[in-house]
């Protein structure tokens, strides 16, 4: 093998080793514990107003739902949105619009979704009841301790002849 080939192979190995080391050093970021997520692909026929009901298996009302149209070609683009307040522990509703003002009525649509439920938070410990500390101050009883007297030198009168 020539020097150029060896150098290229050594460089590729170094890059590969660096990528493995970097990938191993990275950690996932995000909420802990992780939220429950269900994702899927749905095909349904909209009603006369452009609505479709989707079943999910989270068992709780999702906190967030993302929907994205699956289109076979550019001519079938739709505007999809989840219907506010429609999510339940088992379903949610989506509305499909052919344009901003025209719903996609009585038509077959396909879209992907991801529904996110809040992560179960660990139980917080109950605070332990501790007795309230009693604070007492030592106050001297009158007449039991002598008043401190200042220890200043007493000046001696001078007769003016120094």
- For residue range 61-78, list pLDDT tens digits in order: 999 999 998 866 555 678
- For residue range 101-141, list pLDDT tens digits in order: 999 999 999 899 999 998 765 555 556 666 666 666 666 56
Q: What is the pLDDT of residue 138?
A: 64
Contact 54, 95 (CB under 8 A): no
Assessment of whether the complete model's pTM goes beyond 0.85: no
Q: What is the pLDDT of residue 23?
A: 38
Does the domain spanning 32-116 belong to CATH 2.60.40.3940?
Answer: yes
Domain boundaries, the chain: 32-116
Torsion, CA 17, CA 23, CA 25, CA 26, rounded to 10 = 160
As a three-state string, the secondary structure of 80-135 is EEECCCCCCCCEEEEEEECCCCCECCCCEEEEEEEEEECCCCCCCCCCCCCCCCCC
């Amino acid at each position: 093998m020539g020097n150029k080939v060896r150098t290229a192979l050594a460089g590729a190995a170094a890059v590969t080793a660096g990528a493995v080391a970097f990938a191993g050093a990275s950690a996932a970021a995000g909420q802990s514990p992780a939220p429950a997520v269900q994702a899927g692909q749905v095909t349904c026929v909209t009603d006369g107003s452009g609505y479709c009901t989707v079943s999910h298996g989270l068992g709780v009302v999702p906190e967030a739902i993302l929907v994205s149209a699956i289109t076979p070609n550019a001519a079938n683009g739709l505007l999809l949105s989840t219907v506010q307040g429609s999510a339940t522990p088992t379903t949610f509703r989506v509305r499909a619009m052919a344009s901003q003002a025209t719903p996609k009525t009585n038509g077959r649509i396909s879209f992907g979704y991801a529904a996110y439920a809040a992560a179960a938070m660990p139980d917080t410990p109950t605070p332990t009841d501790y007795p309230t500390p009693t604070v007492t101050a030592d106050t001297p009883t009158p007449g039991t301790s002598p008043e401190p007297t200042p220890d200043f030198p007493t000046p001696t009168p001078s007769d003016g002849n120094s």
